[in-house]
Structure 1
Amino acid sequence: MFNRLLAVSGIAGAVLTATVVGLAPQASARPFPAGVSCSATSCRNDTDDTYLIEAWQHCRIIGTAIETETPFNVVVRPHETVEVKGVNCPPHVTTEPSTLGNDFPKRTTQRPTEPTRIGYSDAVIYDPNAPKVRTGSAS
Structure 2
Amino acid sequence: MFNRLLAVSGIAGAVFTATVVGLAPQASARPFPEGVSCSGTSCRNDTDDTYLIEAWQHCRIIGTASETETPFNVVVRPHESVEVEGVKCPPHVITEHSSLGDDFPSRTSQLPTEPTRIGYSEAVIYDPNAPKVRTGSAG
Tell me the TM-score normalised to structure 1 length.
0.75
Residue 138 (structure 1) aligned with residue 106 (structure 2)? no
Q: Percent identity?
A: 85
Show the counterpart of 2:105. Answer: 105
User: How does 1:58-137 map onto structure 2 within 5 Å?
Assistant: 58-135=58-135, 137=136
Gaps of 5+ in 2: 1-27
CA gap of 1:29–1:63, structure 2 versus 1, over 3 A, is farther
Letter in 2 for 1:48: D
Paired residues in the alignment total: 112
CA gap of 1:29–1:116, structure 2 versus 1, over 3 A, is farther
Tell me, yes or no, if the aligned pair for 1:30 and 1:121 is still in contact at 8 Å. no
Alignment RMSD: 1.6
Letter in 1 for 2:78: P
CA gap of 1:99–1:31, structure 2 versus 1, over 3 A, is closer
The CA deviation string for residues 14-62 of structure 1, in whole angstroms up to 9 with x for no partner, is xxxxxxxxxxxxxx65331111000100000011110000000000000
- Tell me which stretches of 4 or more aligned residues in structure 1 moved more than 4 Å: none
Gaps of 5+ in 1: 1-27
